Amino acid sequence: MRGDGARQLALDLPHAESFRRDDFLESPANSAALALVDRWPDWPHSSAAIIGPAGSGKSHLAAIWAERAGARIIAAAELNAAGVPGALVTGALVIEDFAPNRVDEPALFHLLNLAREQGAFLLITARERLDQGPYMLADVASRLRAVPAITLAPPDDSLLAAVLVKLFADRQLAIDEGVVSYLVARIERSLASAEAIVTRLDQAALSRGRSVTRVLASEVLRAG
C-alpha cells in the first residue's frame, strides 16, 4: 500500500524495460524463437523473421540477438536507400516492426541484395507473415518469401503469470499469488494485455492509496 489512504495523483511515469537475455521469460510459446537467437551464427539461412503481435516479445528477442551479433537496429519505416550501406556496416542488422506498407521497397531490395553480397545477417520482426504483401516489386516479394520465419504463439498460463509477476516487480509492487491467478483467468491472452492491466492497477492503487488486491483487480476489470 502506498500513501496514507488519501487519493493521490497517479503520475504516468515511464518504467525501464530490460532487454537482457537473463530477463527473457522462456515458455513453449517462444522457445523456438529463442532457440533461433541462441543458435546464431549457426543459422541455416543468413536471414530470419520473428512474427508475433504487439507485446509478444519480438523486440526483446531482437535486442538479445543484436547484442550477441553486434547488430544495428533500424525501424522498417526509417529504411532508405542512402542509409543501406551504413545499416550493414557491422555485418548484422535488425529490421524492426516490418510491414509492406511501412517500408521503402527499392531501399529494401537494395538492402537484401547488398546483405547477400556481403554475407550479412538479417533479423526481421513483424506482426504479420512477410509473404502477406501486397508488394509493388515482385523481386522483393520473392526474396521475403524465402526468409525462414518463426511465429510466436499466444502465451500459456505459466508465461502469462510469470510476465505479470515481473511487470508488478518492475513497479516495486508486491502481489499475492491469488491476484495473479485471478488476472490470468480473466485478461486477454497476450503480453500486451498483461502490461496494460498492470499499468491500470498501478495507477488505481496509487490514486486510491490502496494495495493491489483481488478486490481492486475486480474493480479495475469491471471498469473496462
pTM: 0.81
Per-residue pLDDT tens over the stretch 102-111 = 899 999 999 9
Per-residue pLDDT tens over the stretch 62-119 = 999 999 999 999 999 999 999 999 999 999 999 999 999 889 999 999 999 999 999 9
Domain over 30-151 is classified CATH 3.40.50.300: yes
Whole-number Å distance between alpha carbons of 217 and 197: 9
> Does this chain's domain 30-151 share its CATH topology with 157-223?
no
DSSP state letter for 5: S
The residues spanned by each domain of the chain are 30-151, 157-223
Residue labelled with grid coordinates 488486491: 213
In this structure, the number of other CB atoms found within 10 A of the CB of residue 213 comes to 17
Residue 189, C-beta contacts closer than 8 angstroms, at least 6 positions apart: 154, 155, 160
Question: 157-223 in CATH: which number?
Answer: 1.10.8.60
